[in-house]
Amino acid sequence: MHLNVEKLLKELTVEEKAGLCSGEDEWFTKAVARLGLPAVMVSDGPHGLRTQKEKKDDRYVGSVEAVCFPSGAALASSFDRGLLERVGDDLGTEASSEGVHTLLGPAINIKRSPLCGRNFEYYSEDPYLAGELAVSYVKGVQKHGVGTSVKHFAGNNQETHRMSVSDEVDERTLREIYLAAFEKVVKEAGPWTLMCSYNRINGTYSSENTWLLSDVLRKEWKFGGIVMSDWGAVDDRVLSLEAGCELEMPSSHGSNDKKIVQAVKEGKLPISVLDEAVRRLLVWIDKGLGRKAETYDKDEHHQEAREIAASCAVLLKNEHKALPLESGDGVLFVGPFAVNPRYQGGGSSHINSHLVSGAVDACPDSVQYLPGIQDNCEKRSPKRLREAVAAAAKAKAVVVFVGLTEAMESEGYDRTGLGLPDCQNELVERISAVQRRTIVVLSSGSPVTMPWKDKVSAIIDMYLGGEAVGEATVDLLFGLANPCGKLAETFPLRLEDTPSFLSFPGGKRNVFYQEGVFVGYRWYDTRKMDVLFPFGHGLSYTAFTYRGLSVERKGNGADILFRIKNTGRRDGAEVAQLYVAPPVCSVPRPSKELKGFAKVFLKKGEEREVSVHLDARAFSYWDGGWKTERGTYRILVGSSSRDIRLSESLDIAGDPSVPLEVTNTTTVRDVLEGGEDFPAFKEMMDQVFRMIGDDPMTRETLLGCPLHSLQSFLAVTYEDVLHMLGR
Ligand code: GLC
């Protein structure tokens, strides 16, 4: 500790304490010079440093030059914990070098709809994957003595009305889907801070949601850090301080500080609440003090970004050995993204990038380039199209670069559809009509529809691959790197198929999460719907086989073992995914859920054993607490959610049965199937069922009867029934 927190607490005035609960400006906390308390700086963003240091007319302008890594959606497609830690490591170094105390990332909101404008920044539709990767990222950053701010806690799943909309969502869905990744990071990585979201949850702003920030985050999850608000997310400052939001960002220019002081003086806010918030703030500030600023080489980080982008890319299709290309001879690149790549998203994560490379810069000189459409990638150019088609007909292979433009997806607003610009779809259609070896390189932060999918030979999705995406693309196209990414989200066939289609983005005031836990593949797989590309899908230039699955129960968990072999002609990496398929339970459950994954790098011909441990939570659902029901579960191991290679049954004992709770909704079925022995009641009902014989309607009606209604159908009073149950 560099600060004497308790001594400072005694010396700080109420006004100074209140002042510490909000920023000095956009990026700094307040200093208290007379007590030697320094200001500290926070900075975006999740995949690159957006540190602002220069002011003009008292407003920050520009940001320091930094290395732009692949965006969250790309990073998640790596399914590689080590890679996320590596990115965190690099960002921790960069943040340290610029004197940043806490980095404002990772951004881990769940992708409820592919239309969310900020999905490029987020990881996945699956909370297990998002949580696992965020743990690694946070550990990577924080080992440099730089904090993180896991965001946006919670339920920031759309940009439309993001600062006012209320997520109307049941607790089970919150716990299993929208809070689970945050819970994992808090419990396993100890982030210095969380950033609470703009939106309301069931009517209450996250920034003043006591259930969220105190009951769940601190009392249940034992979070020991601080909560800062998203920028401008505080509504009632006193309520938010009481709820557990210690730091309002940015500055509210003293107005909310005054409200805190006034509330203390009027006895509406106990000084103990303010002191506890300031104590946490001082502990947080102290963590980053005394740290020696690191230095780093931007070109080295650029090379890291290049390797990382290649490991994130997802090979969606590869037929007729279209990829990898043997050489640049006779190869044509088409599309302005080949020159000026789409490599990052718009908004607070936007980086002043060190060195942006296009694929044309990085490819062999023999490769020819033509734009094919207008430079903005949104408008046709008949002349350019004719030129490109004519050249494509003569080429050995054509690589068409398409993707969403900067204006089509961004923080601050949502997408309105899943399509690429018409001119891009036309370009791919026309070229693939004259060139069998047409390869599409996609750069977008979220899923798109592909009407030409069956007309091209290969598709590789680079997502928003960071500043080195051009070089990474060429490394993959020419086989210097072997694709090994997997989709961290489903690519649907149509927007109408998506789980939230009827309720996204909702109305002006509320958005109803009607699909419940059935988000992403949980929806498509449970309803056995076709999709364009499934969650977990991704091909390689080599091939892998799976064998030898063994499942051993350990309490209410299990140890899973299996073997993977690289049967192809080149080294490569495979992401083995482990899903749990539950039996029929007393609540509707997704047909499968990701509960484990391992990325295995194998030389050609190499085979390796993989082990995954599943804890009890892997079999549980939320129903007022985590519940595990007795039954036979299926363990599924596969190369994607729809390419299951191995499966095994596993009997799980489930939670010890609890004494039957008799209420006015307890039914005959609850008593007979609850696991407890009530001989008199059972004898009575056996007699009744014998009497009615083979009459399913009457039988089912009786089984569904609440106990209090039996007296209307049988010669028995409700008191008699309760007596039979020992009540
Ligand atoms: C923005 C974003 C948040 C960012 C903050 C500071 O509104 O929602 O992710 O860290 O403001 O730029």
Tokens of 632: 């036979």
CA 45 to ligand 1: nearest atom: 10
Contacts of 596 (CB under 8 A, 6+ apart): 128, 560, 577, 578, 612, 613, 614, 618
230, 414, 475, 525: the active-site residue: 230
The tens digit of pLDDT for each residue in 358-377 reads 999 999 999 999 999 999 99
Residue whose CA is closest, atom 12 of ligand 1? 348
Q: Half-sphere exposure of residue 55, counting CA atoms within 13 Å on the CB side? A: 6
Measure the CA–CA gap between 155 and 168, rounded to whole angstroms.
10
CA 156 to ligand 1: nearest atom: 8
User: Residues 227, 181: contact at Cβ < 8 Å?
Assistant: no
Measure the CA–CA gap between 493 and 267, rounded to whole angstroms.
58
pLDDT at 554: 87
Measure the CA–CA gap between 238 and 412, rounded to whole angstroms.
27
Among 181, 186, 198, residue whose Cα is nearest residue 111? 181
pLDDT at 589: 98
Q: How many A from CA of 444 to the centre of ligand 1?
A: 21
Continuous segment of H or E residues that includes residue 683 = helix 679-692
Measure the CA–CA gap between 36 and 2, rounded to whole angstroms.
11
Q: How many A from CA of 261 to the centre of ligand 1?
A: 27
Give the end-to-end CA distance of the chain in Å, rounded to a whole number: 58
Measure the CA–CA gap between 431 and 393, rounded to whole angstroms.
8
Q: Parallel, antiparallel, or unpaired for β 621-622 and 626-627?
A: antiparallel
Contacts of 462 (CB under 8 A, 6+ apart): 74, 309, 312, 313, 441, 442, 443, 469, 472, 473
The tens digit of pLDDT for each residue in 400-453 reads 999 999 999 999 999 999 999 999 999 999 999 999 999 999 999 999 999 999
pLDDT at 656: 87
Measure the CA–CA gap between 641 and 10, rounded to whole angstroms.
57
Q: Is-catalytic flag, 454?
A: no
User: Residues 399, 391: contact at Cβ < 8 Å?
Assistant: no
Other beta carbons within 10 angstroms of residue 695's beta carbon come to 12
Contacts of 63 (CB under 8 A, 6+ apart): 49, 50, 51, 52, 351, 352
Residue whose CA is closest, atom 7 of ligand 1? 231
Query: What is the edge-to-edge ordering of all strands in the sheet holding 643-652?
Result: 593-602, 572-581, 631-640, 643-652
- Section 640-655 average pLDDT: 96
Alpha helices in 124-206 (DSSP H): 127-142, 171-173, 180-189
DSSP state of 174: I
Q: Looking at the predicted structure, is the pLDDT value of residue 632 above 80?
A: yes
Kindly report the pTM of this predicted structure: 0.96
Confidence of residue 674 (pLDDT cuts 50, 70, 90): confident
Residue whose CA is closest, atom 9 of ligand 1? 348
Measure the CA–CA gap between 500 and 481, rounded to whole angstroms.
37
Q: How many A from CA of 230 to the centre of ligand 1?
A: 6
Q: Lowest mean pLDDT: which of 25-34, 306-315, 362-371, 550-559? A: 550-559
CA 44 to ligand 1: nearest atom: 10
User: Residues 88, 138: contact at Cβ < 8 Å?
Assistant: yes
Measure the CA–CA gap between 28 and 43, rounded to whole angstroms.
9
User: Residues 245, 267: contact at Cβ < 8 Å?
Assistant: no
- Section 293-310 average pLDDT: 98
Among 558, 566, 562, 553, residue whose Cα is nearest residue 646? 562
Pocket around ligand 1: residues whose beta carbon is below 6 Å from it?
44, 104, 151, 230-231, 348
Measure the CA–CA gap between 8 and 3, rounded to whole angstroms.
8
pLDDT at 176: 98
Q: How many A from CA of 159 to the centre of ligand 1?
A: 12
Cα-Cα-Cα-Cα torsion 513, 519, 523, 526, nearest 10 degrees, comes to: -110
The tens digit of pLDDT for each residue in 452-468 reads 999 999 999 999 999 99
The tens digit of pLDDT for each residue in 486-529 reads 999 999 999 999 999 999 999 999 999 999 999 999 999 999 99
- Section 175-182 average pLDDT: 99
Q: Looking at the predicted structure, is the pLDDT value of residue 657 above 90?
A: no
Any idea which residue has 């909101």 for tokens? Answer: 109
Residue whose CA is closest, atom 11 of ligand 1? 231
Measure the CA–CA gap between 516 and 176, rounded to whole angstroms.
10
- Section 311-318 average pLDDT: 98
Instruction: Quote the Cα angle for 259-273-194, to 5°.
Output: 90
Q: Looking at the predicted structure, is the pLDDT value of residue 112 above 80?
A: yes
pLDDT at 22: 98
Residue 202: left (phi > 0), alpha (psi -120 to 50), or beta?
A: left
Q: Looking at the predicted structure, is the pLDDT value of residue 658 above 90?
A: no
Peptide bond into 250 cis (omega under 30): yes
Among 85, 110, 120, 97, residue whose Cα is nearest residue 43? 97
Measure the CA–CA gap between 335 and 440, rounded to whole angstroms.
10
Residue of 109, 228, 348 with the most ligand 1 atoms within 8 Å of its CB, for mutation? 348
User: Residues 575, 564: contact at Cβ < 8 Å?
Assistant: no
Q: How many A from CA of 120 to the centre of ligand 1?
A: 14
Q: What is the mean pLDDT of the chain?
A: 97
Q: Looking at the predicted structure, is the pLDDT value of residue 567 above 90?
A: yes
Continuous segment of H or E residues that includes residue 579 = strand 572-581
User: Residues 524, 531: contact at Cβ < 8 Å?
Assistant: yes
Residue of 27, 71, 230 with the most ligand 1 atoms within 8 Å of its CB, for mutation? 230
Measure the CA–CA gap between 452 and 276, rounded to whole angstroms.
59
The tens digit of pLDDT for each residue in 64-107 reads 999 999 999 999 999 999 999 999 999 999 999 999 999 999 99
